[in-house]
Amino acid sequence: MYHVLVSDPISEEGLLPLINHDSVTCDQMPIEAAEQSLELYDALLIRSGTKVTDNLLKKMPNLKIIARAGVGVDNIDIEAATRRGVIVINAPDGNTISTAEHTIAMIASLVRNIPQATRSVKDGIWDRSRFTGMELNGKTLGIIGMGRIGTEISKRAKAFGIKVNVYDPYLTKERGEKLGVASVSFNDLLESSDIITVHTPLTKETKGLLGFDSIPRTKKGVWLINCARGGIIDEEALYHFIKTGHVAGAALDVFETEPPKKNKLLELDEVITTPHIGASTKEAQLNVAAQVADEVLDCLQGIPIKNSINLPTISAEIYDKVKPFFHLTKKMGTILSQMVRTPVKEIELTYSGEVISLETAVLTRNLMAGFLSARVDSPVNEVNAPSIASQRGIIHGEKTGLKADGYSNLIQATVHGEEETFYIRGTNIQEYGERIVNLNGFDIDFYPGGNLLYIQHTDRPGVIGNVGKILGEHHINIATMQVGRKEIGGDAIMILSFDEPLDEEVILALKEIQDLVSVKKLEL
Ligand SMILES: NC(=O)C1=CN([C@@H]2O[C@H](COP(=O)(O)OP(=O)(O)OC[C@H]3O[C@@H](n4cnc5c(N)ncnc54)[C@H](O)[C@@H]3O)[C@@H](O)[C@H]2O)C=CC1
Ligand SMILES: O=C(O)CCC(=O)C(=O)O
Inter-residue contact 425 to 437 (CB < 8 Å): yes
End-to-end CA distance of the chain: 21
ipTM: 0.99
Rg (CA), the chain: 30
Inter-residue contact 100 to 149 (CB < 8 Å): yes
Catalytic residue flag (residue 258): yes
Residues 362-397 pLDDT 10s: 899 999 999 998 777 677 888 888 888 887 888 888
Name the DSSP letter for residue 113. T
Among 3.40.50.300, 3.40.50.720, 2.40.30.10, 3.30.1490.190, name the CATH number for the domain at 2-94+283-300.
3.40.50.720
pLDDT of 314: 67
Catalytic residue flag (residue 229): yes
Cβ of residue 149 lying under 6 Å from some atom of ligand 1: yes
Catalytic residue flag (residue 21): no
Element (H, E) at 465: helix 463-473
How far apart, in whole angstroms, are the C-alpha atoms of residue 176 and residue 338?
A: 53
Residue 248: which residues within 8 A CB-CB, separation 6 or more? 221, 222, 223, 270
How far apart, in whole angstroms, are the C-alpha atoms of residue 329 and residue 8?
A: 36
Which residue's CA is the nearest one to ligand 1's atom 44? 279
Residues 190-211 pLDDT 10s: 999 999 999 999 888 899 999 9
Residue 327: which residues within 8 A CB-CB, separation 6 or more? 302, 434
Q: What are phi and psi of 6, to 5 degrees?
A: -105, 105
Longest Cα–Cα distance of the chain, Å, equals 107
Task: Using most ligand atoms within 8 A of CB, pick from 199, 229, 291, 292 the residue to mutate for ligand 1.
Answer: 199
**Under CATH, what is the fold of the domain 96-273?**
Rossmann fold (3.40.50)
Low-confidence ranges of the chain (pLDDT < 50): none
- Residue ranges of the alpha helices (H) in 266-396? 282-300, 316-339, 360-373, 385-391
Cβ of residue 47 lying under 6 Å from some atom of ligand 2: yes
Distances (CA, A) of 85 to 43, 300, 324, 334, 337: 13, 14, 23, 17, 19
Amino acid residing at 501: P
CA 279 – ligand 2 centroid, Å:
6
The catalytically annotated residue of 68, 276, 425, 457 is 276
Residue 372: which residues within 8 A CB-CB, separation 6 or more? 333, 337, 380, 385, 388, 389, 392, 394
CA 96 – ligand 1 centroid, Å:
10
CA 519 – ligand 2 centroid, Å:
56
Cβ of residue 70 lying under 6 Å from some atom of ligand 2: yes
Cβ of residue 280 lying under 6 Å from some atom of ligand 2: yes
Which residue's CA is the nearest one to ligand 1's atom 25? 200
Cβ of residue 48 lying under 6 Å from some atom of ligand 1: no
How far apart, in whole angstroms, are the C-alpha atoms of residue 434 and residue 449?
A: 9
CA 96 – ligand 2 centroid, Å:
10
CA 175 – ligand 1 centroid, Å:
16
Going by C-alpha positions, the residue among 196, 187, 186 that lies closest to residue 221 is 196
How far apart, in whole angstroms, are the C-alpha atoms of residue 43 and residue 5?
A: 6
CA 196 – ligand 1 centroid, Å:
14
Residues of the chain with pLDDT > 70, as a percent, come to 98
* Preceding peptide of 92 cis, ω within 30°: no
Cβ of residue 260 lying under 6 Å from some atom of ligand 2: no
Which atom of ligand 2 is least distant from the CA of 228?
Answer: 7
> Which listed ligand is nearest to 92 at the C-alpha?
1
DSSP string, 412-466: EEEEEESS-EEEEEEEEETTTEEEEEEETTEEEEE-S-SEEEEEEEE--TTHHHH
pLDDT of 419: 78
> Residue 59: CA atoms inside 13 Å, Cβ hemisphere, count?
12
Going by C-alpha positions, the residue among 106, 10, 48 that lies closest to residue 259 is 48
The catalytically annotated residue of 258, 346, 348, 398 is 258
Task: Using most ligand atoms within 8 A of CB, pick from 10, 46, 47, 286 the residue to mutate for ligand 2.
Answer: 47
Which atom of ligand 1 is least distant from the CA of 151?
Answer: 13
Which atom of ligand 2 is least distant from the CA of 48?
Answer: 3
pLDDT of 193: 98
Which atom of ligand 2 is least distant from the CA of 280?
Answer: 1
By residue count, the chain amounts to 524
Which atom of ligand 2 is least distant from the CA of 284?
Answer: 1
Cβ of residue 98 lying under 6 Å from some atom of ligand 1: no
Task: Using most ligand atoms within 8 A of CB, pick from 74, 107, 149, 313 the residue to mutate for ligand 1.
Answer: 149
CB burial readout 275-308, b (16+ within 10 A) else e: ebebbbbeebbbbbbbbbbbbbbbbbeeebbbbb
DSSP string, 118-157: HHHHHTT---SGGG-----TT-EEEEE--SHHHHHHHHHH
Q: Please, which residues bridge with residue 423 across strands? A: 414
Cβ of residue 76 lying under 6 Å from some atom of ligand 2: no
The catalytically annotated residue of 83, 229, 396, 457 is 229
Phi-psi region for residue 245, left (φ > 0), alpha (ψ -120 to 50) or beta?
left
pLDDT of 82: 85
Cβ of residue 206 lying under 6 Å from some atom of ligand 1: yes
Which atom of ligand 1 is least distant from the CA of 279?
Answer: 3
Superfamily of domain 316-523: D-3-phosphoglycerate dehydrogenase; domain 3 (3.30.1330.90)
pLDDT of 435: 96
Cβ of residue 459 lying under 6 Å from some atom of ligand 1: no
Cβ of residue 110 lying under 6 Å from some atom of ligand 1: no
Cβ of residue 168 lying under 6 Å from some atom of ligand 1: yes
Inter-residue contact 283 to 91 (CB < 8 Å): no
Question: How many C-beta atoms surround the C-beta of residue 59 within 10 A?
Answer: 14
Going by C-alpha positions, the residue among 38, 81, 66 that lies closest to residue 296 is 66
Which atom of ligand 2 is least distant from the CA of 285?
Answer: 1
Cβ of residue 71 lying under 6 Å from some atom of ligand 2: yes
Q: Write out the residue limits of the CATH 3.30.1330.90 domain(s) in the chain.
A: 316-523
Cβ of residue 201 lying under 6 Å from some atom of ligand 1: yes
Q: Write out the residue limits of the CATH 3.40.50.720 domain(s) in the chain.
A: 2-94+283-300, 96-273
